[in-house]
């Protein structure tokens, strides 16, 4: 189409996605120059495509800065996997949250990472780094360990071959983590102790559906010393409730 394409073979759809990909948690708002730079597009191209996305509501522009628009927020909510799981889980996560006042998570495995679908923030000052839509390592989080324990063997093999340290307490010896995963499959719950953040411990359990682990739920607390059994029991009841809702 164009007489002077800087990147032959690039498509308009690809450029549109490059624009949308320019935004992230650290950059929710971008001026035009920065948007073009991050999208890898010449200024006039970014200007024209962003303008069209604004007209469709996919982007919004206020005081010179572009941001993701309401229309994309609405479209994103239509993604079936996050919305089905969140809808089924929400009442149970609220119950756990009401009972514990702790941060509560709903997560799924995404390749070799854990993806957070829902997070109810705790009031206690426990450091929690997860945000909805973000991913964290499988081996260093409670929900992640549950999902890893029930992952296909090739996924476990790859994760166990590349264990990175997050805190001094992160388990990075493959043998030790493998033993933990076997234990998780046996007992039905996972724990972490300051492995993802200092000062934060967690318990998590699987949500099963037809012999598959489709998600994990967990809580993050300052210490597991007193409440581990109680938290585990509450999470297991909630997980069963979620599974029933999913079966409907």
Partner DNA sequence: CCGATTCTTCCACTCAGTGGAAGAATCGGG
Partner DNA sequence: CCCGATTCTTCCACTGAGTGGAAGAATCGG
- Positions touching a second copy (CB under 8 A) are 1, 11-14, 16-17, 20-21, 23-25, 28-29, 49, 52-53, 56, 58, 60, 67-70, 72-83, 90-91, 94, 97-98, 110, 115, 120-121, 123, 132-133
Decide if 213 contacts 150 (C-beta within 8 A).
yes
Distance in Å, CB of 155 to a second copy, minimum: 17
Please name the residue that has the structure tokens 């679908």.
117
Stretch that binds DNA, among 34-42, 140-148, 154-162, 178-186 (CB under 7 A): 34-42
Six token digits for residue 126: 């426990």
Can you tell me the distance from the alpha carbon of 90 to that of 204, in angstroms, rounded to the nearest whole number?
A: 16
Q: Residue 183: left if φ>0, alpha if ψ -120 to 50, beta else—which one?
A: alpha
Based on the shown chain and the rule CB under 7 A, indicate whether residue 76 belongs to the binding site for DNA. no
Six token digits for residue 2: 């164009």
Distance in Å, CB of 59 to DNA, minimum: 12
Can you tell me the distance from the alpha carbon of 222 to that of 224, in angstroms, rounded to the nearest whole number?
A: 7
Number of residues that bind DNA (CB under 7 A): 27
From DNA, a second copy, none, which one binds at residue 112 (CB under 5 to 8 Å depending on kind)? none
Q: Which residues of 101-137 are buried (b: 16+ CB within 10 A; e: fewer)?
A: ebbbbbbbbeebbbbbbbbbebeeebebebeeeebbb
Distance in Å, CB of 56 to DNA, minimum: 13
From a second copy, DNA, none, which one binds at residue 4 (CB under 5 to 8 Å depending on kind)? DNA
For the beta sheet containing 212-221, the strands, ordered from the edge strand earlier in sequence to the opposite edge, are 135-137, 113-120, 103-110, 212-221, 201-209, 190-193
From DNA, a second copy, none, which one binds at residue 90 (CB under 5 to 8 Å depending on kind)? a second copy
Q: Looking only at Cα atoms, what is the longest distance across the chain?
A: 70
Distance in Å, CB of 11 to DNA, minimum: 3
Residue of the chain from 24, 27, 28, 31 that contacts DNA (CB under 7 A): 31
Based on the shown chain and the rule CB under 7 A, indicate whether residue 33 belongs to the binding site for DNA. yes
Six token digits for residue 136: 């964290």
Site residues for DNA, window 40-69 (CB under 7 A)? 41-45, 47-49, 64
From DNA, a second copy, none, which one binds at residue 42 (CB under 5 to 8 Å depending on kind)? DNA
Bridge partners of 119? 105
Catalog residues that contact DNA under the rule CB under 7 A. Answer: 1-13, 15, 31-34, 41-45, 47-49, 64
């Amino acid at each position: 189409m164009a007489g002077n394409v800087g990147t032959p073979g690039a498509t308009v759809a690809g450029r549109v996605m490059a624009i949308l990909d320019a935004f992230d948690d650290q950059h929710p708002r971008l001026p035009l120059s920065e948007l073009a730079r991050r999208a890898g597009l010449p200024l006039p191209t970014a200007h024209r495509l962003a303008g069209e996305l604004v007209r469709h509501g996919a982007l919004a522009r206020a005081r010179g800065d572009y941001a993701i628009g309401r229309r994309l927020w609405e479209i994103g909510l239509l993604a079936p996997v996050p919305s089905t799981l969140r809808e089924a889980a929400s009442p149970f996560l609220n119950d756990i949250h009401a009972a514990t006042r702790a941060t509560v998570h709903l997560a799924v495995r995404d390749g070799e990472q854990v993806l957070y679908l829902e997070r109810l923030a705790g009031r206690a000052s426990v450091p929690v780094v997860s945000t909805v839509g973000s991913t964290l390592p499988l081996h260093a989080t409670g929900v992640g360990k549950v999902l890893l324990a029930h992952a296909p063997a090739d996924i476990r093999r790859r994760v166990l071959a590349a264990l990175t340290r997050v805190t001094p307490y992160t388990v990075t010896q493959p043998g030790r983590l493998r033993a933990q995963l076997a234990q998780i499959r046996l007992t039905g719950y996972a724990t972490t102790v300051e492995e993802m953040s200092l000062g934060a411990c967690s318990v998590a359990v699987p949500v099963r559906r037809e012999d598959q682990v489709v998600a994990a739920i967990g809580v993050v607390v300052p210490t597991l010393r007193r409440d581990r059994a109680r938290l585990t029991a509450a999470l297991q009841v909630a997980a069963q409730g979620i599974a029933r809702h999913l079966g409907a």
